[in-house]
Every structure is written in C-alpha cells, then in structure tokens.
Amino acid sequence: MRLAVVVLTYNEAAHIAACIESARFADQIVVFDSFSTDDTVRLAQEAGAQVIQHTFVDYPSQRNAALDAMRDQVDWVLFVDADERITPELAAEVRAQIGIPGYAGFRIPRHNFIFGVLTKGAGWYPDYQTRLLKLGEARYDPLRQVHETVILDAEEGTLTQPFIHYNYRDARQFREKQRRYVAYDAQMMFKAGVRPKPQNYILQPLRHFWWRFVTLKGYADGLHGLRLSLLMAWYELQKYLALRRL
C-alpha cells in the first residue's frame, strides 16, 4: 500500500520544513498550497516535497481536491496540518494499519500544545481527527465548511499514537480563531432556525464552563485549564450574541 502525506498550507513558512521532516516515512509528501505569499512553497520544495497549488474556497473543497489530485498515485492519504508533527511511533502504526483490509479511514488522537503547554483536559484530548483515508472510499462533506466531516464508504478504525499539534501559540491567535468559529457557528444555528432566549446568555456560558472544567477535567491542567475553560465559556456567550445580531 502506497501512502502520501498531504499538507494543506497558506503562509506556513514557520512550520512547513519541520512538518515535512516528520513525514519522511511516507512514499510521497505533497504540499497542497493555497497560493502562499510567504516562503512556504520555496521551503517545501527545498525540503523535497511536491507542491501543488490550488485556489482555496473552503476546507472540505480543498481536501477533496487534494484527494482527487492523489488518485491513481497512492492508495492512502494522511492529511497533516503544517503545525502538526508525526512521531516515529505514529508513523509505524500508520504503516501497520493501512495493510489491514476492510477500513476506509482511521481517526488519530492529538496532543495539543496550547500557549506552549501540553493540554489534556477541557476537551483537548484525545481530540480525534479522521485524517488517514483510503482513496476512493473517503470524501469530505461539502456542507461542513469548518471542522470538516469525513464520509466513509467502509469501517473507520482508531489509532492509539497521537499527532503532536502546536495549537494556539498565543492569546492573539486564540482570539482570532475563536472569533471565526463563533461567526460560523452562529450562522449555522441561524440557518437551522435557532433563536436565542434571554436565559441563553447566562446559562449556556455557565454550562459550557462546567462541561469544560468539570466534565472534561479541565481542572487537571490547573490554572491553565481554568483559563481555557473560562475563555471557551466567554466565546459561548459571544456565539449567542452573534446569533442575536443575525
């Protein structure tokens, strides 16, 4: 079974070389770039990756286009984000599992480093991502433009070895991403006919904090987990405020 690691990029010069280095075990490494304006393409080529440039519309369209581009070249695709790394243990597990018949895809856990801290509570572990896909038996749902969903034509397996994900390097990046997620989630709720009620502005953030900090054991990460749980509760409030504006 031939395997390609595919990395979607746009202005990922800070990460791309290290990401490619961690993917050396694959038969092919492809950087599927959205016309970066920094040194991403040059660095990827210097590192030995094949570069394909494709105009970005949304994430499911971009991933489906990458799958189409790899058709007839390999049997399996492992999608890796530029800020993720593949450990030798995960590489060995991927190689072993793609030889087992009957599966169309595998989900992989992630170790998330948030503000430089490995975060295992508050919902950031195991943080499964369905990224190892068999060509011809997997595609992305075009209706899920954020937090993409994979549609599989056969069984899904689960790997045990995690990606290393250098997620949210600082508070500014965290705010920028959460604002985008808030806008998207509010739009989806609005289209589904959901309308905010007065109690939502208080109860939903409180429930979200309890879910993150207590149910998902954010407390296990100490003050770091408390901070993240409070931040996510704040953005839950922002989601309902955005829904009200709509």
Low-confidence ranges of the chain (pLDDT < 50): none
> Would you state the pLDDT for residue 246?
96
Helix orientation angle between 222-245 and 171-191, rounded to the nearest 10 degrees: 40
Of 114, 85, 82, 113, nearest to 13 by C-alpha is 82
Answer with the one of 167, 191, 219 that is the final residue of a domain.
167
Same domain, 67 and 160: yes
Are residue 196 and residue 148 in the same domain, yes or no? no
Give me the pLDDT at residue 43, please.
98
Could you say which of 167, 192, 218 is where a domain stops? 167
Q: Terminus-to-terminus CA distance in the chain, angstroms?
A: 49
Q: Kindly report the backbone phi and psi dihedral angles of residue 164, in degrees, each rounded to the nearest multiple of 5, phi listed first.
A: -100, 120
Reduced to 3 states, what is the DSSP secondary structure of residue 197? coil
CATH number of the domain enclosing 107:
3.90.550.10
Last residue of a domain, one of 104, 133, 167: 167
Give the whole-angstrom CA distance, residue 166 versus residue 157. 24
The residue range of the domain holding 109 is: 3-167
d(Cα 131, Cα 78) in Å, to the nearest integer? 6
76 and 112 fall within a common domain:
yes
Residue 20, pLDDT score: 98
Structure tokens of 224? 């770091």
pLDDT at position 47, please?
97
Both structure tokens of 25: 């075990």
200-210 vs 222-245: helix crossing angle, rounded to 10? 150
Strands (E), the chain: 3-9, 28-33, 50-53, 76-79, 84-85, 103-108, 110-114, 117-119, 129-134, 138-140, 150-152, 155-158, 163-167
Q: What is the CA radius of gyration of the chain?
A: 19
Judge whether 92 and 22 are in contact, CB under 8 Å. Answer: no
What is residue 120's predicted lDDT score, i.e. its pLDDT? Answer: 95
* Residues 226 and 104 both lie in one domain: no
| Same structural domain, 63 and 152 | yes
Total domains in the fold of the chain: 2
Whether residues 110 and 139 fall in one domain: yes
- Give the span between the Cα atoms of 190 and 17, in whole angstroms: 41
